[in-house]
């Protein structure tokens, strides 16, 4: 994670010096994803290294148990090679076989046009924007919230 956060102009919410999880805390996070009925993690590996990760982190309360938040990162040098799409495809079976999950939520920086186009190809549609949500490099940036297309079993980018 540190190498992604150290990348200039990255589109993640934290900077490298803010990511302070110990190995034990990271392991506990991964175990919590594994043990939650509405959460999962998929890894992409190449040359014995993790080059991409996709998490679906489910809501913890009864009111949000049907939701899962999508997080995805692909390492620099590996982008544009279909790894993100392969990660998304790898979790489709899990999503279809997890009846508790009815909505996949995704937030992406509006300036990250490549990612926005990718999520739209996956069937996500923009549902709104969070103005001045994050302060990065001396200016506020906005998030686009998306979710799945209506009519799908799944679905602010909201995928259905």
The CATH superfamily of 2-158 is Gcn5-related N-acetyltransferase (GNAT) (3.40.630.30)
The Cα–Cα gap between 93 and 136 comes to: 36
pLDDT above 70 as % of the chain: 73
User: pLDDT by residue (tens digit) across 133-159?
Assistant: 666 677 776 666 655 432 233 333 334
User: pLDDT by residue (tens digit) across 81-134?
Assistant: 999 999 999 988 899 899 899 989 888 877 778 888 888 888 888 887 777 766
Enclosing H/E stretch for 148: none
The Cα–Cα gap between 52 and 21 comes to: 19
The Cα–Cα gap between 133 and 144 comes to: 10
Pairing of the two strands 157-158 and 125-126: antiparallel
CB atoms within 10 A of CB 120: 15
Token output for 47: 């040359």
Query: Rounded to 5 degrees, what angle do the CA atoms 148, 149, 151 make?
Result: 115
> Would you state the pLDDT for residue 49?
86
Angular region, 14: left φ>0, alpha ψ -120 to 50, beta rest: beta
Token output for 98: 């997890």
The Cα–Cα gap between 108 and 14 comes to: 14
């Amino acid at each position: 994670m540190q190498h992604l956060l150290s990348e200039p102009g990255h589109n993640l919410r934290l900077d490298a010096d803010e990511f302070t999880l110990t190995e034990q805390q990271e392991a506990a996070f991964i175990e919590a994803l594994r043990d939650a009925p509405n959460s999962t993690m998929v890894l992409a590996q190449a040359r014995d290294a993790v080059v991409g990760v996709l998490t679906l982190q489910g809501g913890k309360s009864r009111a949000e148990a049907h939701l899962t938040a999508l997080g995805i990162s692909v390492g620099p040098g590996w982008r544009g090679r279909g790894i993100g799409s392969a990660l998304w495809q790898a979790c489709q079976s899990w999503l279809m076989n997890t009846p508790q999950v009815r909505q996949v939520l995704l937030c992406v920086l509006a300036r990250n046009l490549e990612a926005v186009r990718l999520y739209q190809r996956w069937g996500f549609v923009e549902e709104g924007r969070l103005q001045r949500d994050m302060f990065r490099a001396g200016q506020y940036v906005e998030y686009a919230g998306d979710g799945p297309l209506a009519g799908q079993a799944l679905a602010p980018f909201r995928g259905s």
